[in-house]
Amino acid sequence: MNLDLVYEELLPHTVDAVWGVLTDAASISAWLMRTPDFQPVVGARFRLKTQRLSESGWVEAEVTELDPPRRMVWAWSVAHDAQLTTVTFELTPEDEGTRLKLTHVGEIDPFVGTLLTEGWPGRLELLRRSLD
């Protein structure tokens, strides 16, 4: 399956506040998945604890791009032998706050792709609540 997800949210918060919840391990653990080792550094590898996306129980990821506080890109894999997908977070300041654009693209197992398609909106709602 070719995953090609794009979600945009207008958040009534500053770019710095949104960037903070996107780049802090405790915040990511609260709105996305538990991560014991995330660091906002290019080349940093980290894991996200999942209940449903992976047989191992972990999503393996790496920060591949970082342009604080505007853009961060992760390479993401749900299995050791799976192709990498790409998760991109882009922040744009607007009069009403910050526009967050999240994209998740790449070839992925159809079952996992369906879980991600259904799961990202709820995770973004948790992100919104963590800012409020």
pLDDT of amino acid 23: 98
pLDDT of amino acid 55: 66
Write the CATH number of the domain with boundaries 2-131: 3.30.530.20
pLDDT 10s digits, 76-110: 998 777 789 999 999 999 999 999 999 999 999 89
| Sequence-ordered list of residues with C-beta below 8 angstroms from that of 74, at least 6 positions apart, any chain | 61, 62, 63, 64, 86, 87, 88
Q: Is pLDDT above 70 for 132?
A: yes
pLDDT of amino acid 127: 98
Q: Is pLDDT above 90 for 43?
A: yes
pLDDT of amino acid 4: 97
Sign of the CA dihedral with 92 first, then 126, 16, and 74 last = negative
Q: Is pLDDT above 80 for 52?
A: no
At residue 119 the predicted structure's pLDDT band, cuts being 50, 70 and 90, is: very high
Beta bridge partners of 67: 71
Asked whether 36 and 120 are in contact (CB, 8 A), the reply is no
pLDDT of amino acid 95: 97
pLDDT of amino acid 54: 63
Q: Rounded distance, CA 132 to CA 119, Å?
A: 21
pLDDT of amino acid 78: 86
pTM of the model: 0.94
